[in-house]
A = this chain, B = another copy of it.
Amino acid sequence: MEYNYAKRISHLKASEIREILKVTENPEIISFAGGLPAPELFPLDEIKEVSRIVLEEEGTEALQYTTTEGYLPLRKWIAARMNNRLGTKFEPDNILLTHGSQQALDLSGKVFLDEGDVVLCESPTYLAAISAFKAYGCEFKEVPTDEDGMIPAELDRILDSTPNVKLIYVIPDFQNPTGRTWTLPRREYLVKAAMKHQVMIIEDNPYGELRFEDEPLPSLQAFDHEGCVLSLGTFSKIFCPGYRIGWVAGDQKVVEKYVLVKQGTDLQCNTLAQREIAKYLELYNIDEHIEKIRKVYKRRRNLTIKLMEDHFPEGVTFTRPKGGLFAWIELPTDINARDVLIKSLEQNVAFVPGGSFFPNGGRENTFRINFSNMPDDKIEEGLQSLAGVLREFV
């Protein structure tokens, strides 16, 4: 049989990260590749307890079908938390639970993107957002981005000169892959520009709660008077990714469309997962838990930066993230990070080459490292090895 696939999948290739993660299942590998949280910080005892209680008290409901919108107490909690932290005025009906925030990206594409529509994004941007949106036939325009966020003049120039801009996709806090955080004025400028041009913003915020220093900055929601910002969140980085529970929050009219689209896509999220997370939030203090994560990741971030400062050869630069999971490394322009990776894997050290984070290609002299997943001794050993490999190239 000659398979006749849809045009949208003709460009598809395996995500480099997922393929590298397969290699990294080898336990000898020191992996800075994935975006994996530290598993030793999962609140395992508490989860055993809530799992027991949910099955004991709500067993049959927790195993049955439920509504597409998701479990009301969990949507209530999310609305309240966003209202407290971000100054929004959300009700539960402003929230749809999604199968991880990756599904919220997919649904965003499905709700908004026609073939030929344009998505503006940071340069570089999260590579799985690229795959999610590309499935709907869009084009990407990368807005030149510095350490403070998208550069306003460039944003204006692109918005003024590009028809069919449907979405602006950004990760203002501890961006994936760079670890950078947008300044307050840049946030405000972006939302004003979006309102002026009547373009939707997808604010992806999986890492915002993982801040190691300075005060939190407001979500883009804080500047939005027109319902043009949709915020994505997830329990993957502050609780456990295996549950696959994230959310999209925004204007109720838009969220209703997402609900309808999710119905046809997968009916609903896992019922048990929704109830177990809700029960955890009812019985335990997630702020204490997040504080534990912050402390460990901060130490690992410090260690990572220190090791890169001490051992990476001159000519190699890197970001110094104030939170999140990732740092971003730039090599001299004549060095291809894929070549470095091949050598590095021989030393059992993995990372993700940066090229895939540019939707229109390029910048092969970059790579991303994760500092959340490996214990301190492995970070030390791995970055020492990596520094040695880099010295062969630079």
Question: Does A6 interact with chain B (Cβ within 8 Å)?
Answer: yes
Question: Does A100 interact with chain B (Cβ within 8 Å)?
Answer: yes
A110 contacts B60, C-beta separation under 8 Å: no
Question: Does A232 interact with chain B (Cβ within 8 Å)?
Answer: no
Pick the contact of A263 from B7, B18, B136 — CB < 8 Å?
B18
A257 contacts B60, C-beta separation under 8 Å: no
Pick the contact of A260 from B14, B36, B44 — CB < 8 Å?
B14
Interface centre among A7, A110, A113, A264 (most CB of B within 10 A): A264
Distance (Å) between the CB of A13 and the closest chain B CB? Answer: 7
Distance (Å) between the CB of A4 and the closest chain B CB? Answer: 7
Interface centre among A100, A243, A244 (most CB of B within 10 A): A244
Distance (Å) between the CB of A161 and the closest chain B CB? Answer: 19
A272 contacts B243, C-beta separation under 8 Å: yes
Residues of B with C-beta under 8 A to A244: 99, 266-271
Question: Does A80 interact with chain B (Cβ within 8 Å)?
Answer: no
Pick the contact of A273 from B64, B112, B265, B272 — CB < 8 Å?
B272
On whether A267 and B67 interact (CB within 8 A), knowing A135-B110, A272-B242, the answer reads no
A204 CA / B99 CA spacing, docked (Å): 22
A236 CA / B64 CA spacing, docked (Å): 9
B55 contacts A3, C-beta separation under 8 Å: no
On whether A111 and B9 interact (CB within 8 A), knowing A14-B260, A260-B14, the answer reads yes
A65 contacts B48, C-beta separation under 8 Å: no
Kindly report which residue of chain B lies nearest to residue A236, judged by CB atoms.
Answer: B65
Distance (Å) between the CB of A159 and the closest chain B CB? Answer: 15
On whether A263 and B131 interact (CB within 8 A), knowing A40-B60, A63-B240, the answer reads yes
Question: Does A122 interact with chain B (Cβ within 8 Å)?
Answer: no
Distance (Å) between the CB of A244 and the closest chain B CB? Answer: 5
Distance (Å) between the CB of A88 and the closest chain B CB? Answer: 16
Which residues of A19-49 have CB atoms within 8 Å of chain B's CB atoms? 21-22, 34, 36-37, 39-40, 42, 44, 47-48
A257 contacts B14, C-beta separation under 8 Å: no
Residues of B with C-beta under 8 A to A62: 242
Pick the contact of A51 from B51, B195, B271 — CB < 8 Å?
B51
Question: Does A162 interact with chain B (Cβ within 8 Å)?
Answer: no
A243 contacts B264, C-beta separation under 8 Å: no
A267 contacts B63, C-beta separation under 8 Å: no
A102 contacts B270, C-beta separation under 8 Å: no
Question: Does A251 interact with chain B (Cβ within 8 Å)?
Answer: yes
B67 contacts A21, C-beta separation under 8 Å: yes
Question: Does A68 interact with chain B (Cβ within 8 Å)?
Answer: yes
Pick the contact of A63 from B42, B200, B254 — CB < 8 Å?
B42
Top-8 shortest CB links A-B: A131-B264, A242-B271, A63-B240, A39-B60, A63-B242, A1-B226, A103-B266, A44-B59
Q: List 13 A-B contacts (CB under 8 A).
A: A4-B198, A5-B257, A6-B110, A9-B110, A9-B111, A12-B264, A39-B61, A62-B242, A63-B240, A99-B244, A102-B265, A132-B264, A134-B264
